[in-house]
Amino acid sequence: MLEIYSTPLDILYLILSIAIGLLALFLIIALYHLIRILSNVNKVTSKAKDTMDLINHYLWQPIKIAMMIIEKSKEVARKSRRKSED
């Protein structure tokens, strides 16, 4: 069996094939971990989007309504002040 790998070129081919195999294995493992990380990022961004939707619905909308009411009351107060001045 050692007679097959007797020339330096045969040994080079053996080492290159092992190196390419190890590189392919490393890339497969790295790709697997990248897919898992991106999946987790997708889950986190989805939860963040849901949280922002809840904040917008339960917090920001009432604030916007209160601000509209304040602006309308300011307009009514200005109009009533103008009428009282005239």
Cα 52 to Cα 36, 44, 49, 60, distances in angstroms:
24, 12, 5, 10
Check whether 71 has a pLDDT greater than 60: yes
pLDDT, one tens digit per residue, over 10-34 is 889 999 999 999 999 999 999 999 9
Least-confidence region, from 5-9, 31-35, 73-77: 5-9
User: pTM for the full model?
Assistant: 0.56
- Split at pLDDT 50, 70, 90, the class of 57 is confident
Spatial CB neighbours of 11, under 8 Å, sequence gap ≥ 6: 5
Residue type, 61: Q
Backbone conformation region of residue 51, classed left if phi is above 0, alpha if psi is from -120 to 50, else beta: alpha
Q: Give the per-residue pLDDT at 2.
A: 57
